[in-house]
Amino acid sequence: MLADFGRVCGNVGLQLNLTKALFVRNGQTINE
């Protein structure tokens, strides 16, 4: 149970980081 929970949290965190990186990159291109 805990291992699955940690894996799910890790996947969600990874997706959030990727999404944030994309937003930051898009924001920079828009500002330029």
Q: Which residue has the tokens 């959030």?
A: 16
Q: How far apart are CA 29 and CA 8, in angstroms?
A: 32
pTM of the model: 0.49
How many CA atoms lie less than 13 Å away from 6 in the CB half-sphere? 3
CA 2 to chain centre: 22
Asked if the model's pLDDT at residue 13 lies above 80, the reply is: yes
Q: Which residue has the higher pLDDT, 30 or 17?
A: 17
What region does 17 belong to: left with phi over 0, alpha with psi -120 to 50, or beta?
alpha
| pLDDT for residue 30 | 60
Mean pLDDT of 2-19: 85
> Computed from CA positions of residues 6, 12, 14, 17, in that sequence, does the dihedral angle turn out positive or negative?
negative
| pLDDT for residue 32 | 56
pLDDT band at 29 (very low <50, low <70, confident <90, very high): low
